[in-house]
Amino acid sequence: MNNSKLILFFITLIISQSIFSQGTDLKEENKKILAPAKAAFFSAILPGLGQAYNKKYWKIPIVYGAIGTGIYFHNQNNKSYKRYRGAYKRRLAGFSDDEFWGTGITPNISNDGLIRAQKQLKRNKEMSILVTIGLYALNIIDANVDAHLMQYNIDDNLSLSPIYNFNEVNSTSNLSLSLKLKL
């Protein structure tokens, strides 16, 4: 009987040790480490999603505004390019009723002017595409870098602060930066 009580005591002791060793620190549980690759992947799938993952919600309208602006200018240049291209094709076919002809015998914009306008608008259209792609890439890079920077510990042990001193003897002012590092 004594042996069974002793065995039961040791089993209870071992189980209680394993139960108490399962405790977690609340600070570690609340601290969520963001994965930069995951944030970049989210931004690549849907622009602004990486910023939402990083909890930088104020950046989402900026991302959509920037990419939307590039798309808007591409569409505007494309519409104008098609107008000038259609007028040029009609003139080559022998018609003189396009919107750029005007009311007189001679056109307001010559055939060479239509060709130059087409080249300019095509270049602007392609530039709009490149700017939009660049802004899309910048969105991905921003999400990645922001997730990286959120992992750094910024506290009072490391600070960079401006210092303004007035020298009363010379009546001059001095502006400097102070780097404080506590180890």
Per-residue pLDDT of the chain (183 residues; tens, 9 = 90+): 566 666 666 566 566 554 444 445 545 444 467 789 999 999 999 999 999 999 999 999 999 999 999 999 999 999 999 999 999 999 999 888 888 888 878 888 889 999 999 999 999 999 999 999 999 999 999 999 999 988 776 666 777 788 888 888 888 888 888 877 777
Residue whose C-alpha is closest to residue 121's, from 171, 162, 80, 86? 80
User: With b meaning 16 or more CB within 10 Å and e meaning fewer, what string describes 7-45?
Assistant: eeeeeeeeeeeeeeeeeeeeeeeeeeebebeebbbbbbe
- CA-nearest of 127, 139, 122 to 67 is 139
CB 95 within 8 Å of CB 88: no
Task: Give residue limits of the domains in the chain.
Answer: 32-153
Q: Return the ∠ at Cα 179 (arms to 175 and 183), rounded to 5°.
A: 160
- Distance, CA of 141 to CA of 65 (rounded, Å): 17
Distance of alpha carbon 40 from alpha carbon 131, whole angstroms: 19
Enter the DSSP assignment of 49: H
